[in-house]
Chain A
């Protein structure tokens, strides 16, 4: 996962480090880079992540998304195959979710 825009700040794995540098257009491009075409269902998850982050202070976990946004974990795996928590965070321009130690 790397990003296309030199002017966008990312970490070593391509996750955006500045919340405000994200745009909906950029989300589409980020999704494309990991082989995902965004549908309304994807956007429901991404919008929840974006709206949750500023108050919660952490990237939402799969459980948080499924409980609070009402999208079953199984569906998140279908929408963002393989590593849904990371892929959602990547597309939503949020820090890589940390599995707390």
Chain B
């Protein structure tokens, strides 16, 4: 019996477990998924919670994994890559022949002085966690006006467009409540623009301008003074707030670092075409857990999972891995008022305007606000639970295509 152990039953881990269960014979392979939590959280839904969105956010992991997959609930303490074993914090040891690390990335407010304290979830909020999203909903309901600062500590973060989406949705929320003139909105980023890639940064920066949202760039936070309600940067700039919505530093799982498998942020260094660990060939890291130079996003987890599964089936047969991931990412960006835009890109091609072909459902507009893109984002929840996690194919190509895309006429420089 060959043993495949998958650490983490999130988007990437669940998808890969289900796909491999169909590909690897039951008689020869035992597949085990280990996760600390019984429930699977639909993370894209968190964005809508602060504005009153009610979605089915949680489902039991057991129901999302095919029959024949073993699920173990327990905290992972360490991996011993030499002895090929995983130790849980209750002392249990699980041995593997092949290991897939899919423990993602998590917000770490403990890493910035001043975030965690008596003001946490009172005047200082996050929204990428279940508790954070609901605490922020209460804070927004009770907000009577003042300065709302949306802030990103450091890149990379999971779902890198979410802080912008949150800002757009907040602006629309206050307008709807007829209190927009009582709220000053500021977007604070460590980047030198609204976004990293120049064409999209210009477009998204324009949307912020249109909505009278101020942008503070190149701001690397050193600490938060929760008593004075200010963000303080390393170069000693200060930004005051009445309500702070921060995206804390994101880090891979602690056991990755503790096992010597991670970089400075506990991400597993991998080959960017195959997701194979650069240190141990029988270890792969998928989804947000690796150091791929692309977005930490569900779409990347999805597209790279397709490549990984095809390669893994070759690898365990002793064959060369012939598939290469191109860094393909694809994100709906909510912009408020029931509209959204769509971006599609990879390692080499930045998000460009144009049309995105989508099977029989018809093309969607790229880098342009439309209602169809908003509905696409909402429809994605059903797709996620019913098609994506079970490991079915979606009508979206794994590799990015230039079809329908065009470069704007003028040359844009960063």
**Residues in chain A within 8 A of chain B (CB atoms):** 12-13, 58, 61-64, 67-68, 73-74, 77, 81-83, 96, 98-101
Contacts and interface: CB of A to CB of B under 8 A. Distances in A.
B265 A100 contact: no
A81 B235 contact: yes
Contacts, number: 52
Contact of B234 (A58, A67, A73, A96): A73
Given A13-B413, A98-B196, A77 B295 contact: no
Contact of A63 (B160, B192, B265, B293): B265
Contacts of A101: 160, 195-197, 294-295, 329, 345, 351
Task: Identify whether the interface residues of A are mostly helix, strand, loop, or mixed.
Answer: loop
Given A74-B234, A83-B218, 6 more contacts: A12-B413, A77-B220, A77-B234, A100-B156, A100-B160, A100-B295
Contacts of A82: 218, 235
Contact of A99 (B191, B235, B329): B191
B293 A98 contact: yes
Interface of B is mostly: loop
30 contacts: A13-B413, A13-B414, A58-B293, A61-B155, A61-B264, A63-B154, A64-B264, A67-B264, A73-B220, A73-B222, A77-B220, A81-B235, A83-B192, A83-B218, A96-B414, A98-B196, A98-B293, A99-B155, A99-B190, A99-B196, A100-B156, A100-B160, A100-B196, A100-B293, A100-B296, A101-B160, A101-B195, A101-B197, A101-B295, A101-B345
> Which residue of A63, A67, A96 has the most chain B CB atoms within 10 A of its CB atom?
A63
B56 interface: no
A64 B190 contact: no
Contacts of B295: 100-101
B274 to A, nearest CB: 14
Contacts of B192: 83
Interface residues of B, number: 27
A45 to B, nearest CB: 15
A87 to B, nearest CB: 12
A99 B190 CA distance: 9
B220 A62 contact: yes
A75 B197 CA distance: 28
B263 interface: yes
Interface in B122-178: 154-156, 160
A12 B160 CA distance: 26
Contacts of B345: 101
A100 to B, nearest CB: 4
A97 B218 CA distance: 13
